[in-house]
Amino acid sequence: MNFIIYDLSFMVLFLVFIGFFLYKKGENLKKEGSLILYKTKWGIKLINHVGSKYKKTIKFLSYISIGLGYILMTSMLYLVGKVIYIYIAYPEVVRSIKVPPIMPLVPYFTELPGIKGMFPTFYFVVFILAIIVVATIHEFSHGIFMKRYNIKIKSTGFAFFKYFPAFLGAFVEQDEKDMKSKSNFSQMAVLSAGTFANVLTAIFFFIIMGLFFSLSFAPSGLIFDDYAYDVVGIESITMVNGVALTNTTFEKISNLINEEGLNKIQTEDNNYVSTKEFLDIQGEIYNYTFLYYDSPAINSGLKGAITNINGVQITSLEVFQDELSKYSAGDNITIETFVEENTNSYEIELGENPNEEGSGYLGVGFRDTARSGAMGKIVDFISSFKKSNIYYEDKFEAAWFFYNLFWWIALINLLVALFNMLPVGGLDGGRFFYLTILGLTKSKVKAEKTFKFVTQFFLFLLFLLMVLWVISFF
C-alpha cells in the first residue's frame, strides 16, 4: 500500500512536470489531431552514425526484418480471427471474463474485475519506464534504417496526447516525399525496423528477467488454489445437514443449505461438504454437481501458501507430496502457511484418502493455471520463470518491482510489434501491406483500393468485437 501512495504521488508530479515542460517549450510544439508533438534534433547524430557505419549489417538485417514483418502480420490476423470466433461461439466465456476486447494499457488496469490476478500489478512508474523503452527503441530503429537507405530525417521528438500528456511516445519524422521515392524494399525495411527492434528487445528483457529472477527469488512455499472436490451425481445424495433425502433433486439440496459455514452432505459412499456460494456457482450440470471432500484442509480453514510440514520446508509440489506420503490417516501434523505477510500454524489430523485406503489425506486442490488462446500462451511463456502454485520469497525489498518492470517491458514490446503490423492505415503494417500489394499487382490504383478495403474491414471487425461483447451480457 505504501508503494501505491508513492506511485500515485509520482504520477501527480510527473503530470505537473510534463505540463510545465510543454508550456515552456511552446515554440517547439506542433499539434497534429489529438497529439502534441515536441520536435527536436535529439539523437539524429547517433542515428546517422549507426546508419552510416553499419550499412552491410543493416542491409542483411533488412531481409530478416521484412520476413518477421510478414510473420507478425500473419500472427495478428490469426489472433483477431481467433478472438472473433471465441466471441461468437462461446458467449458464456466472454460473459464470465467481463473485460472488453479492446483494453488500453493504462496504469492499474490490472486491478479491474475480471482481470485482477491475471497479470502483475501495472504501476504508473512501470508504465512510464516501459513506454519510454518501447517507443524510443522502436523509433530509433526506424531512424537507423532511414539513414541506411538515404531517407532524409526532418526531426525527432516526443509525442503526447493533447488531453492527457502522461501518455507519451517517441517519433522520428522522415521526409515523406523522399521516403516514397525509394524502392519498395527500402521502404518495407524501414517500416518493419521498429517492430523488428521491439521483438529483439522483448527477447533481451526476457533473458534479463530470467537471470534476475534466478538471483533474486527462492521457492519458499506451495500455493493451493482450492480445496479438493469431486463430481457427484445429484440422485446419489442421501443426506444434507442431517436431513435424509429421497428422490433427490438440486432444488431439494439448495433448500437445506445454510447461508453461512460448511454444509455436511452425504452420499451412499462418501462424505462431502459445501458452502452455499460454491454450490450456487457450480449449479446442476446434467444431474451432477461439484462438492468438496469432507477433508481436514477445508474443515480446519487452511489458507495461504504452505511453507512447511512438521518443520520440513515445502519448496515444490513434489516435496509436498513426498512429505505427505510419510503419514497415514489419523496422524497429526503441524502445517505452517504464509498469507498476507502473516505466518499461521495449524494442528491437523489427516483424514483417509478417498482414492487410497489408509494413506494420509489433507484435501487441497490444484487447478490447471495454463491460460488458453494464443495471447494466453504468450503471457504464460513470459511468466515461465515462475512455476505455477509456487510461493517465492524475494531476497531484497524491491525485487518484485524490478521483476514486474522487466516483465511488462518484454510483454509490451511484443504487443507493440504485433499491433503495429496490423494492415491498417496509420500503422506501419498498413503501408507495409500497401507496398506488398503494389509489388504484386504493379498497380497503385489496385493497391490503394485493397489497402482502403482492408483498413475499413479491420475497423469493422473491431467494432463487431465490441458489439459482441455488449450482446454477451444479455
C-alpha of 144 from chain center: 31
On whether both 113 and 250 belong to a single domain, the answer is no
Phi and psi based region of residue 98 (left: phi greater than 0; alpha: psi -120 to 50; beta: remaining)? left
Let me know if residue 50 belongs to a domain: yes
On whether both 177 and 144 belong to a single domain, the answer is yes
Contacts of 399 (CB under 8 A, 6+ apart): 216, 217
On whether both 150 and 247 belong to a single domain, the answer is no
Task: Identify which of 271, 289, 287, 288 has the alpha carbon closest to the alpha carbon of residue 279.
Answer: 289
Q: What is the pLDDT of residue 370?
A: 60
3-class DSSP state for residue 123? coil
On whether both 236 and 271 belong to a single domain, the answer is yes
Q: What is the pLDDT of residue 374?
A: 59
On whether both 160 and 38 belong to a single domain, the answer is yes
On whether both 122 and 169 belong to a single domain, the answer is yes
Q: What is the pLDDT of residue 443?
A: 94
Mean pLDDT by 10 residues, the chain (474 residues): 82 85 75 76 86 94 96 90 81 67 79 76 91 91 94 85 67 88 95 96 94 94 89 91 89 90 89 89 84 91 92 91 89 91 90 75 78 66 82 91 94 92 91 95 94 92 82 71
On whether both 65 and 157 belong to a single domain, the answer is yes
On whether both 257 and 133 belong to a single domain, the answer is no
Let me know if residue 302 belongs to a domain: no
Let me know if residue 4 belongs to a domain: no
On whether both 156 and 268 belong to a single domain, the answer is no
On whether both 112 and 239 belong to a single domain, the answer is no
Domain count, the chain: 2
The Cα 97–Cα 32 span in angstroms is 36
On whether both 111 and 178 belong to a single domain, the answer is yes
Task: Identify which of 156, 149, 141, 209 has the alpha carbon closest to the alpha carbon of residue 44.
Answer: 156
Let me know if residue 100 belongs to a domain: yes
* Final residue of a structural domain among 246, 278, 294: 294
- Taken as a whole, the chain contains a residue count of 474
On whether both 198 and 76 belong to a single domain, the answer is yes
Let me know if residue 203 belongs to a domain: yes
The Cα 42–Cα 245 span in angstroms is 80
Q: What is the pLDDT of residue 422?
A: 92
Let me know if residue 367 belongs to a domain: no
Q: What cell was used for 289?
A: 454437481
pTM of the model: 0.83
Q: Phi, psi (5° rounding) for residue 35?
A: -110, 155
3-class DSSP state for residue 380? helix
* Final residue of a structural domain among 272, 294, 316: 294
Phi and psi based region of residue 150 (left: phi greater than 0; alpha: psi -120 to 50; beta: remaining)? left
The label of the residue with cell 527536436 reads 40
* Full domain range(s) for residue 433: 28-217+376-386+393-471
The label of the residue with cell 473491431 reads 462
Task: Name beta bridge partners: 267.
Answer: 237
* Final residue of a structural domain among 246, 265, 294: 294
Let me know if residue 301 belongs to a domain: no
Contacts of 88 (CB under 8 A, 6+ apart): 468
Let me know if residue 238 belongs to a domain: yes
